[in-house]
Amino acid sequence: MCDSAGGNLAAVIALLARDNELDLRLQVLIYPASDARVWHQSYDENGAGFFLPIETMRWFYNHYLGEGIGGGLSGDWRVSPAAASNHSDLAPAYIVTCERDPLRDEGNEYAERLRSAGVDVKHRQFDGQPHVLFQLANQTEDGKNLLIECGQVLRKAFEL
């Protein structure tokens, strides 16, 4: 269970697990950074404020890849899991996006990409909420609901 850049890493791990025939029970991707290849409309809509300004995203990409969004390495599926050639046979996914998040569109598109490949996907978008909703669990009702839902999907995946 990871959010943002961690959601990116978790999505990559799910692809690697499938390719190495490991039994992964569930992907929990909270507003994942899943596609650095393109500039998404939600970057423009939510990239000024809302806890994840576009300047910060550029800083992360420049330090992680040595280049910005849309650069040469951004097309590698290990950077942009959406770029993988095959998304079938992946572990079931619980994907969360937030309306006021620059990563909203790529998370929504990744959920649809997995669903189109036959992956069992539960996708939930929290309307009106920002990128850091998970960290707001003790301050907002939606943050609390997100934490509860994560617990529920994890319990179900591990039959607890």
Report the C-alpha gap between 39 and 18 in whole angstroms.
28
pLDDT in tens, 58-95: 899 888 888 777 778 889 999 999 999 999 999 999 99
pLDDT in tens, 41-53: 999 999 997 799 9
Domains with residue ranges and CATH for the chain = 2-157 (3.40.50.1820)
Burial 137-154 (b: 16+ CB within 10 A, else e): beeeebbeebeebbeebe
Report the C-alpha gap between 103 and 54 in whole angstroms.
10
Please report, for residues 32, 53, 66, 71, 92, the alpha-carbon distance to residue 111 in angstroms, rounded to integers and kept in the order given.
10, 23, 28, 23, 11
pLDDT at residue number 139 = 96
pLDDT at residue number 108 = 98
Burial class (CB in 10 A: 0-12, 13-18, 19+), 33: buried
Give the residue numbers marked as catalytic: 4, 101, 131
Tokens 């997100």 correspond to 146
pLDDT in tens, 91-140: 999 999 999 999 999 999 999 999 999 999 999 999 999 999 999 999 99
Report the C-alpha gap between 136 and 124 in whole angstroms.
17
pLDDT in tens, 9-52: 999 999 999 999 999 999 999 999 999 998 999 999 999 977 99
pLDDT at residue number 72 = 80
pLDDT at residue number 43 = 95
Give the three-class secondary structure for 104: helix
Is residue 160 over pLDDT 80? no
